[in-house]
Chains A and B, each alone.
Chain A
Amino acid sequence: MIKINNLCKTYSTGAFTVPALKGITLEIASGEFVAITGASGSGKSTMMNLLGLLDRPSKGSYLLDGIDVSHLDDNDYARLRNRKIGFVFQAFNLLPRLTALKNVELSMLYAGTKHEERRKRALEVLTLLGLEDRLHHFPNELSGGQNQRVAIARALINNPAIILADEPTGALDSQTGLEIMSIFQELNRQGTTIVLVTHELNIARHSRRILRMADGLIINDEEIARPLDAHNEIQALREKGGRA
């Protein structure tokens, strides 16, 4: 699915050059659920941007779904982002002037999907995420958790090979965060490959593999034999008489 070899990224700002990634070699197989953790500034976002084809590495190779992307141009990058990658951001990044439905349709718009098909599929996915009664709400009319679910729906809509989520629970309270994690776990159970960045260990433990980054390098790569189950945690919280 993902195969990177000696990936480097150096930012140069004026006189300084900042090595953000210092040679990362990594394989992620289809169907994996990977969490990347590490201190702030360790290079997590840089890594995600490269994996998400939003940026180009300074050095090293990247095979996405068997495609060597190093020789592709901006248009190919855009097409691959559209077809193979679903982004979920910390700040949701929904377009404020579009309804939930329209936001979800956006990715399909750039895929050239016909109008009726778009409508049908967006409805399907939003319903799957429990938002069937929020279709025509604007982002500022929805809660953080709801917005993030819209964003996940948008990420899923083109059946991407992989979902990249950079701190998806960072802007949410812990219970809402768990709800989002439970969605990711469910998606992963159904076969979606997920790479998630978080600096919270509690969140990372829901994945099945944790990569720890420090200073532009992966310093630890650990399989999680028994990941936490977000769904159970929510149930437990409810029984303890937390929020309804």
Chain B
Amino acid sequence: MNIGELILVAIESIKSNKLRSFLTTLGIVIGIAAVIAVVGIGQGGRAMLMQEMEKFGTNMFGIWVNYRDGESFRLDDLQINDITVIKENVPQVKYLAPASYGQMQLRGSKGHKSVQVIGTTADYAQVRNLETVWGRFIRDDDAAVGRRVIVLDERTALKLFGPGNPVGKKVMLMSNSAVVVGVIKSDSSMLGFNSQQIAYLPWSFLSRLNGWEVIHELQGSASSKEEVEAAMNLSKKILERRHHAPNHYYAYSLEQEMESANKVTGIMTLIIGCIAGISLLVGGIGVMNIMLVSVTERTREIGIRMALGARRKDILVQFIIESIVLCLLGGFIGIILGYGGALLVARLAKWPPLVSGWTVLLAVGFSVAVGLFFGIYPANKASKMDPIEALRRD
């Protein structure tokens, strides 16, 4: 008797008891559905996060001032000269830009709006992968020549000037005016960071407007992913040396952030995996239970099959296959339900559902393994029956 026939026998036997078969596999269905859904949602979310982070470029790093208790903010903790020195001495640093943050009321020909302004230099566009829609970003000679220029993001441009290219138009900020030289593509990022409206000014121009010089943060990018660590640490060292302030600076990299995000999702996957494992275990015990009942109920069938020439092995394999088919059936239903769940959540959260082939394969593998493992005992019991005893039973 070949495997194909045995599978048919198993399916026939499962079909002849549909409700019980379904209830039997419920544990498996739930276990597999949970795994597929959670892994799918988790992987989708992670992929989304990674995609968002990579928009900034994975080589990016930043340096903050690390204020401890009792320390107060000082204007000169980060200076424009620091940038020059770092760029000269740390070859791993490819771009390094100052960022000075503020909030300002901007007025254009069509409207006004309070936006976040960032005072920075040309490098900033490289570090943050900014895309220009019209015109250009801030250039290094803007600062040198003392140009009063401003770069808007799309949303701000729309608010101030309506649709169309605003390059060359005048923006009023406080009592000063600046000329729009470029428009930056607004980020539709989910991380929220950029969903606000932003205007970029040359750092020197913003300092003049403010009446003081301040750099809140340095943002840079290393020449390669591998050199981020070195770029970050060497820059920090130079700052510490120049300002005689050990441990006064805090550096972070996108790489690190991604790693910790990975770690979190890894732990989550592990926890879910344990829960799924337990539910599969419970499901498997359910299957074993029903298979035992089934073997007892079908004692006479087993006797008849033996009388007709079934070897013990044939009976053993028949019941194991029945158990595996039962679990596989549960697994397939679980995969469909789980995928549906992942799809639903992904749609609500607006990220791509990611149920990889591997996950499905793993689920199928688990179903087979559970069926095999929990089918062996009942099947063995069936195959050990004495044909005469079995035939006498009703």
Contact = CB atoms under 8 A, between A and B. Distances in A.
Interface string A85-118: 0010100011101100000001101111000000
Nearest to B12: A97
Given A55-B387, A78-B311, A81-B309, 9 more contacts: A54-B307, A78-B310, A81-B306, A93-B307, A94-B304, A109-B1, A109-B5, A110-B1, A111-B309
Contacts, number: 62
A75 B315 CA distance: 12
Interface residues of A, number: 26
A79 interface: yes
B313 interface: yes
13 contacts: A55-B387, A75-B311, A75-B313, A78-B314, A83-B309, A93-B307, A97-B16, A109-B1, A110-B1, A110-B308, A110-B309, A110-B310, A112-B2
B299 to A, nearest CB: 12
A222 interface: no
Contacts of A107: 308-309
A206 interface: no
Contacts of B388: 49, 54-55
B309 A79 contact: yes
A52 B309 CA distance: 11
Is the contact region of chain B dominated by helix, strand, or loop, or is it mixed? helix
A89 B307 CA distance: 11
Nearest to B9: A109
B66 to A, nearest CB: 76
B301 to A, nearest CB: 6
Interface in B257-308: 300-301, 303-308
Contacts of B300: 93
Contact of B1 (A49, A55, A79, A112): A112
Interface of B: 1-2, 5, 12-13, 16, 300-301, 303-314, 387-388, 391
Task: Name which of B13, B309, B313, B314 has the most chain A CB atoms within 10 A of its CB.
Answer: B309
B2 A106 contact: no
A82 interface: yes
B13 A78 contact: no
A97 B300 CA distance: 13
B219 to A, nearest CB: 72
B260 to A, nearest CB: 58
Contacts of A75: 311-313
Task: Name which of A78, A79, A82, A107 has the most chain B CB atoms within 10 A of its CB.
Answer: A78
Contacts of B314: 78, 110
Contacts of B391: 54, 89, 93
B318 to A, nearest CB: 11
A154 B304 CA distance: 11
Interface in A194-217: none
Contacts of B304: 93-95
Contacts of A68: none
Given A93-B304, A97-B13, A79 B311 contact: yes
